[in-house]
């Protein structure tokens, strides 16, 4: 016989599993594409969402210089 509810549920699970192909969950590619702020001294890249305090901390701690010396293209109006 074998046409009970348990068999139908198992078949439905198998069908749904085949339909639901694995979706890419990694953001690594998009994160590397967003690394568009570059330190002029050491060429380290930062995400485009980086704000002035983080960049200032990098400039002072790594290079003992100012934000404008390390990141001349960065505008303070970029921070929201």
Instruction: Classify residue 35: in a domain, yes or no.
Output: yes
The pTM (predicted TM-score) of the whole model is 0.57
Instruction: Classify residue 4: in a domain, yes or no.
Output: no
pLDDT by residue (tens digit) across 55-74? 999 999 999 999 999 999 88
Instruction: Classify residue 12: in a domain, yes or no.
Output: no
List, in sequence order, every residue forming a beta bridge with 38; answer none if it has no partner: 45
Confidence band, pLDDT 50/70/90 cuts, at residue 40: very high
Instruction: Classify residue 16: in a domain, yes or no.
Output: no
Instruction: Classify residue 14: in a domain, yes or no.
Output: no
């Amino acid at each position: 016989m074998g046409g009970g509810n348990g068999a139908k549920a198992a078949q439905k699970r198998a069908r749904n599993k085949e339909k639901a192909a694995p979706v890419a969950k990694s953001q690594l590619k998009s994160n590397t594409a967003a690394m568009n702020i570059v330190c002029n001294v050491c060429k380290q890249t930062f995400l485009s969402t980086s704000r002035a305090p983080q960049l200032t901390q990098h400039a002072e701690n790594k290079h003992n210089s100012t934000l404008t010396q390390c990141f001349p293209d960065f505008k303070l109006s970029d921070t929201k």
